[in-house]
Amino acid sequence: MAEADLRHERVGRVVGGVLRQAVADADAPGLVILEDATPEGALARDWAERALGEARVWPAGSGGAGLVAHPANKTVLLLAPVHAPLLPLGDLYASQVEALAGAWSAPPDVAALAEAAGGIAMLDGALQRWLERGQGPEPAFRLLGTALAARLEALLARNRAARWRPGLVPKLGARTLGVDLFE
């Protein structure tokens, strides 16, 4: 199996395990996945169905009464408010979602920021230097240029309160929203 496929399986196993336990702990009939037409939604749905079975995973508006999961990626959760009990892809940056699913999505202001940065990899690189490697904003965002770094800092500041109490994010890395103290 190719490394990309192995990674897809590996990450999906861990995310799926957290979803399965969350549903069991809540004694819920299954999982409702919001925005399942996005690349993130399709990924979350695939992993949820593997963990719970197809019959226990529903799209929004289908009448299913399960736990609600929003498939927002980590880039989005850092920069824009998203409120849902479960955030299955919340420890995967948009560029990692792209590596797994071939595409990514974000609200317009975050997507515009990525475009101005020269691509999602550039934006995620800056965020990872700040969050995962613990650099200060100045060295972490320097490559983006002064004006863009200021926009990024403003978005991060605006969303700080939302980051303090996110929904349940399956822990995959070293700095997970809602699990690790990093700010």
Partner 1 sequence: MRADLQLAVAQLDARPGALAANAAAVRAAAVAARADVLLTPELSLTGYDVRDRAAALALPLALGSTPGAPFEALHDAPGLVIAGAIEAGPETVPYNVAMGVAGASIRHLHRKIYLPTYGMFDEARWFGSGGKLEPWSLPGGWRAGVLVCEDFWHPGLVYVLASAGIDVLLVLAAAPGRGVWEGGAHGDFASADAWEGIACTTARLYGIYVALANRVGVEGAVTFAGGSLIVSPEGVVLARAPALEPATIRATLEPNALARARRPAFHGRDDDPRLVARELLRHHG
| Contacts to partner 1 by CB under 8 A | 6-7, 10-11, 13-14, 17-18, 20-21, 92, 96, 168-174, 176, 178-181
Give whichever of 135 and 153 is closer to partner 1, judged by the CB atom.
Answer: 135
In whole angstroms, the minimum distance from the beta carbon of 170 to partner 1 comes to: 6
Give whichever of 86 and 149 is closer to partner 1, judged by the CB atom.
Answer: 86
Give whichever of 52 and 92 is closer to partner 1, judged by the CB atom.
Answer: 92
Give whichever of 18 and 77 is closer to partner 1, judged by the CB atom.
Answer: 18
Beta-sheet strands, E only, within 43-126? 57-59, 67-69
Task: Name the nearest CA neighbour of 122 among 149, 100, 102, 101.
Answer: 149
What token pair was written down for 86? Answer: 């479960």
In whole angstroms, the minimum distance from the beta carbon of 179 to partner 1 comes to: 5
Cβ contacts of residue 138 below 8 Å, gap of 6+?
A: 149
Question: For the chain, how long is the longest CA-to-CA vector?
Answer: 50
Task: Name the nearest CA neighbour of 142 among 164, 155, 157, 125.
Answer: 125
Give whichever of 13 and 160 is closer to partner 1, judged by the CB atom.
Answer: 13
Q: How far apart are CA 70 and CA 29, in angstroms?
A: 17
What token pair was written down for 21? Answer: 């336990």
Cβ contacts of residue 183 below 8 Å, gap of 6+?
A: 160, 163
Give whichever of 10 and 83 is closer to partner 1, judged by the CB atom.
Answer: 10
In whole angstroms, the minimum distance from the beta carbon of 40 to partner 1 comes to: 16
In whole angstroms, the minimum distance from the beta carbon of 178 to partner 1 comes to: 7
In whole angstroms, the minimum distance from the beta carbon of 56 to partner 1 comes to: 17
80 DSSP 8-state letter: S
In whole angstroms, the minimum distance from the beta carbon of 3 to partner 1 comes to: 9
For tokens 């897809």, what's the residue?
8
